[in-house]
Structure 1
Amino acid sequence: MKILIADDEKNMRWILEKNLKSEGFAVVSAEDGEEAFNLFLDEIPDMVILDYRMPKLDGMEVLKRIKKINISTPVIMITAHGSTDAAVEAMKIGAVDYISKPFDINELKMTIFKALNIDKLNKEIEYLRDLSTEKFDNKIVGQSKKMQEIFTMIDKIADTNATVLVMGESGTGKEGIVASIHNKSSRKDMPYIRVNCGAIPENLIESELFGHEKGAFTGANSRKFGRFDRAQGGTLFLDEIGELSLTLQVKILRVLQEKEFERVGGTEVIKSDVRIIAATNRNLEEMVEKGEFREDLLYRLKVIPIWLPPLRERKEDIDLLVEHFIGKYCKETNKEKMIIEKDALDLLEAYDYPGNIRELENLIERMVILCADGIIRASMLPKEIVKGAFLNKKDLFILPEEGINFEEVEISLVRQALERSNGNQTHAAKLLGMSRHALIYRMDKFHLK
């Protein structure tokens, strides 16, 4: 942490340097306003302490110049005794605080630490705001009737405390739905905590959820706050809740019913102000029948059920998703916005996506990275995508109303097969589903080489 001191009194600079260095700060100092501003540009300090009266440039002018360069740098102004007007003016320009001469060095240290803490909090808030915007904005995309119904449901339930269960296959975007509910609720400025119930070992997940007291088990050397503690006032997202053991299901049920819990090894009853939203890709009704999931917990979770359809059932959303992911990964890879050819988009819309949106997103990321000229073409798509798309099409080709010249279509297909196979006749024939002799016949017929 580096602090710039600007004061024309040598003794004052010496005292400030000595005391601040003893607190672990790196210190640079200037004896006039011009030197102070040049040092600010060169050293990029974390904080500036400015004397109001200095030669060449006074403290107020230096403050104005600093704020034009970096408005977030905290500046403390040192003013003469009784210079209230100067202090008020400095605060209006952007100083975080001021201190009047003569001052106690400990008083100045307290002012410095307070200003640095405020600056740290402001940076954390800005970081979290950016993170929140990145995480929640444009997370769920869809124009299909099914998705519009889900968006309407989210708007209705977001600002309630109702428990929500989001169901759907892996990769359908369940976390985006949960995040959207939280972000549209009155809890949006409070914690949003996610727990993947299937990713934490069974012997650790109780402590992870509820925390533990010191000495609760071997290795518990201090009290630990769990996810329920951290989510107080906000939302706790229990992803893959079907993976929880029956024992833990009882404890979750208690939190839902009684709004309270106890840490592992503790006796203190802790009140819970947490909204629980759960998600699963498993059939919980079947699990209830098999005795693997508690029926009473299922009823508590399904106050508001949301079924998220697989991508194959909302193919009218694929073009929007493709556009969204192209924009996202062009930005991440610092590439100019790309376009996708209609043939490539048609193939993407015909494919069934067993991995759902996650599979489509990974595919677009790969093509954006590999694309060299800003155009995503059908020839860039993986073979399994092309093959799956053609198997799903009822008609491989759609006959236009005005008809076609069949010979031109045949010539075009033979030429494309030869180009894609780099002139390898055997490979080209395989692409066209014919024998090599049949291909050679057509090449001779259409004078193709």
Structure 2
Amino acid sequence: MRRVLVVDDEESMRQMLSILLKKQGIDVVTASRGQEAIDLLESGERFSVVMTDLSMPGGVGGLDVLRAVKSIDNASQVIMITAFATPETAVEAIKSGAYDYLTKPFKLEQVKLVLDRALEKYALLAENLYLKEEQRKFRPKGIIGESEPMKRVMEMVHRVARTKTTILITGESGTGKELVAQAIHDASPFKGPFVPVNCGAIPETLIEAELFGYKKGAFTGASADQKGLVESARGGTLFLDEIGELPLSAQVRLLRVLQEKKVKPVGGVEEITVDVRVVAATNRDLKEEVECGRFREDLYYRLNIIPIELPPLRKRGKDVQILLRHFVGVYSEELDTDVKGISAPALAVLLDYDYPGNVRELQNIVERAVTLELGTMIELGSLPPTLRPRVTRSEVLELPVEGIDLDLEMQRIEQAYLEAALDRCEGVKTEAAKLLGISFRSFRYRLKKLGLGDDDANNEDD
């Protein structure tokens, strides 16, 4: 935008500056009073540069206009104009955010020089603000998290999506490498398909034919020409998951695809040009694989142009609770259950767990819990046995020689806790249920089972 607001009570000055600026292809708006300029700004008018006289009649001067500009659009640049410049007024103007000031009378070349620089600064600031806003709004589909490590990942996805540069995504299993690859593809301007390939799931004898295609008669069973997955991804993204599993023979062919953008089908003579962006992923240390001779060094460096490392879930802090809440909502709707959240004891266990399987493991735990839970809150009993708190032998009462009736003993303990919770909460059942980390429905059921409930099932606070 090249739009300038000229604010001066002298008509001759407004006309002179308007003529000068319009000759430079600049859109010019004028105002004869400071308040008129402020009204324009508050009505939504925006300007790359505001040139304003310092002293004007009406009680609203150039410094007032300057403050209004900076409070509304900090990227806009303000040039002060004055006939009585002093060091004090200049310092005050600069401290308040003015770009520069001109002293009347001034030469037209001086105006052009100062204005051109102000326009350049505005363009730079406006672009930076736009990029920051776009980055703030950018939320790749499927990637959930507010932790600093994940913010850095999303920032990188936003930056690389518009390029066709090869990307290598690393991270432990279950961290969401394919989700990130898909997000890069979705945010890119390239409209071709997203073609995922798990390099470890295709037999070594078939991997080259699957990736690069083959010609009729190339091997037994090749009854017709077959297009490979690389060619199928033309114009889009080829996602090579578990790239460390790729055999050395196929690595040579892939290197040519990356370097020359060409692929030769198995049994073929002519090469086919393919315009495809490659995103690879691995949970292996490829440097170590190179040192051991299991991965080509030249291919490693060709893949590792832009590395994106995904953090393990145990290093993502508050993201664990955000993901838990998200997956409870997803599976509650998908499985059509009444589960709305996680009880305090169960949540404490889930937040304390390390998740060696990362997000995938957390997702599976929540799906299992939502499936098994009968109440509205996920309780400890719905979590996998390996996650439930273990009671040590030292915490168990001494077992009598004659033995006990375990069911009766458990019933006695349960009744004691229910009554203690009711006493502490002065009979308010909803609060007592929260104290025990169970749903109100479960609390009411237990009371009834033990003969402690009343007939009014809807009375929550008696």
Instruction: Give me the whole-angstrom Cα distance separating, in 1, the residues matched to 2:292 and 2:196.
Output: 28
Q: How far off is 1:311 after superposition?
A: 1.1
Match for residue 148 of structure 1? 151
Match for residue 371 of structure 2? 369
Match for residue 313 of structure 1? 315
Instruction: Give me the whole-angstrom Cα distance separating, in 2, the residues matched to 1:435 and 1:153.
Output: 59
Q: Which one of the candidate residues 382, 385, 395 is aligned to 1:432?
A: 395
Match for residue 223 of structure 1? 225
Instruction: Give me the whole-angstrom Cα distance separating, in 1, the residues matched to 2:341 and 2:167.
Output: 38
Q: 1:44-55 maps to which residues of 2 (within 5 A)?
A: none
Q: How far off is 1:198 after superposition?
A: 0.2
Instruction: Give me the whole-angstrom Cα distance separating, in 2, the residues matched to 1:218 and 1:171.
Output: 38
* Counterparts in 2 of 1:314 and 1:165: CA distance versus 1, 3 Å: same
Match for residue 418 of structure 1? none
The answer to whether the Cα contact below 8 Å between 2:339 and 2:373 also exists between their aligned partners in 1 is no
Instruction: Give me the whole-angstrom Cα distance separating, in 2, the residues matched to 1:152 and 1:241.
Output: 24
Match for residue 356 of structure 2? 354
What amino acid is aligned across from residue 197 of structure 1 in structure 2? C
Q: How far off is 1:386 after superposition?
A: 2.8
Instruction: Give me the whole-angstrom Cα distance separating, in 2, the residues matched to 1:145 and 1:431.
Output: 42
* Counterparts in 2 of 1:166 and 1:435: CA distance versus 1, 3 Å: farther
Q: 1:146-185 maps to which residues of 2 (within 5 A)?
A: 146-185=149-188
* Structure 1 moving runs of 4+ over 2 Å: 334-337, 428-437
Which secondary structure does the structure 2 equivalent of 1:348 belong to? helix
Which secondary structure does the structure 1 equivalent of 2:217 belong to? coil
Instruction: Give me the whole-angstrom Cα distance separating, in 2, the residues matched to 1:346 and 1:162.
Output: 43
Match for residue 426 of structure 2? none
The answer to whether the Cα contact below 8 Å between 1:236 and 1:277 also exists between their aligned partners in 2 is yes
Match for residue 189 of structure 2? 186
* Counterparts in 2 of 1:429 and 1:256: CA distance versus 1, 3 Å: closer
What amino acid is aligned across from residue 245 of structure 2 in structure 1? E
Q: How many residue pairs are counted as aligned between the two chains?
A: 272
Q: Which one of the candidate residues 181, 195, 201 is aligned to 2:203?
A: 201
Q: Deviations over 1:310-353 (max 9, x none)?
A: 11111321111111111221222123452112221121110011
* Counterparts in 2 of 1:380 and 1:334: CA distance versus 1, 3 Å: closer
The answer to whether the Cα contact below 8 Å between 2:145 and 2:323 also exists between their aligned partners in 1 is yes
Structure 1 length normalisation: TM-score? 0.57
Question: Is 2:329 the partner of 1:327?
Answer: yes
Segments of structure 2 that go 5 or more residues without pairing to the other structure are: 1-138, 405-409, 418-462
Instruction: Give me the whole-angstrom Cα distance separating, in 2, the residues matched to 1:385 and 1:274.
Output: 44
Instruction: Give me the whole-angstrom Cα distance separating, in 2, the residues matched to 1:370 and 1:222.
Output: 50
Q: Which structure is larger by alpha-carbon Rg, 1 or 2?
A: 2
Match for residue 435 of structure 2? none
* Counterparts in 2 of 1:433 and 1:146: CA distance versus 1, 3 Å: farther
Match for residue 244 of structure 1? 246
What amino acid is aligned across from residue 153 of structure 2 in structure 1? I
Instruction: Give me the whole-angstrom Cα distance separating, in 2, the residues matched to 1:386 and 1:431.
Output: 18
Instruction: Give me the whole-angstrom Cα distance separating, in 2, the residues matched to 1:330 and 1:137.
Output: 23
* Counterparts in 2 of 1:433 and 1:164: CA distance versus 1, 3 Å: farther
Q: How far off is 1:430 after superposition?
A: 3.5
Which secondary structure does the structure 1 equivalent of 2:215 belong to? coil
Segments of structure 1 that go 5 or more residues without pairing to the other structure are: 1-135, 391-427
Instruction: Give me the whole-angstrom Cα distance separating, in 2, the residues matched to 1:386 and 1:267.
Output: 61
The answer to whether the Cα contact below 8 Å between 2:215 and 2:224 also exists between their aligned partners in 1 is yes
Q: Which one of the candidate residues 206, 209, 212 is aligned to 1:210?
A: 212
CA RMSD in angstroms comes to 2.8
Q: Deviations over 1:8-54 (max 9, x none)?
A: xxxxxxxxxxxxxxxxxxxxxxxxxxxxxxxxxxxxxxxxxxxxxxx
Instruction: Give me the whole-angstrom Cα distance separating, in 2, the residues matched to 1:286 and 1:296.
Output: 14
What amino acid is aligned across from residue 376 of structure 1 in structure 2? I
What amino acid is aligned across from residue 206 of structure 1 in structure 2? E
Instruction: Give me the whole-angstrom Cα distance separating, in 1, the residues matched to 2:172 and 2:223.
Output: 40
Match for residue 419 of structure 1? none
Q: How far off is 1:448 after superposition?
A: 5.8
Instruction: Give me the whole-angstrom Cα distance separating, in 1, the residues matched to 2:214 and 2:392.
Output: 68
Instruction: Give me the whole-angstrom Cα distance separating, in 2, the residues matched to 1:271 and 1:434.
Output: 76
Match for residue 270 of structure 1? 272
What amino acid is aligned across from residue 151 of structure 1 in structure 2? M
The answer to whether the Cα contact below 8 Å between 1:429 and 1:435 also exists between their aligned partners in 2 is no
What amino acid is aligned across from residue 149 of structure 2 in structure 1? K
Instruction: Give me the whole-angstrom Cα distance separating, in 2, the residues matched to 1:293 and 1:155.
Output: 29
Q: Which one of the candidate residues 258, 261, 270 is aligned to 1:259?
A: 261
The answer to whether the Cα contact below 8 Å between 2:195 and 2:238 also exists between their aligned partners in 1 is yes
What amino acid is aligned across from residue 350 of structure 1 in structure 2? D
Match for residue 385 of structure 2? 383
Instruction: Give me the whole-angstrom Cα distance separating, in 2, the residues matched to 1:168 and 1:358.
Output: 13
What amino acid is aligned across from residue 257 of structure 2 in structure 1? V
What amino acid is aligned across from residue 371 of structure 1 in structure 2? E
Which secondary structure does the structure 1 equivalent of 2:180 belong to? helix
Match for residue 338 of structure 1? 340
Instruction: Give me the whole-angstrom Cα distance separating, in 2, the residues matched to 1:216 and 1:448.
Output: 77
The answer to whether the Cα contact below 8 Å between 2:339 and 2:377 also exists between their aligned partners in 1 is no
* Counterparts in 2 of 1:137 and 1:369: CA distance versus 1, 3 Å: farther
Instruction: Give me the whole-angstrom Cα distance separating, in 2, the residues matched to 1:263 and 1:351.
Output: 48
Q: 1:15-94 maps to which residues of 2 (within 5 A)?
A: none
Q: How far off is 1:379 after superposition?
A: 3.2
Instruction: Give me the whole-angstrom Cα distance separating, in 1, the residues matched to 2:213 and 2:384.
Output: 47
* Counterparts in 2 of 1:381 and 1:337: CA distance versus 1, 3 Å: closer
The answer to whether the Cα contact below 8 Å between 2:237 and 2:276 also exists between their aligned partners in 1 is yes
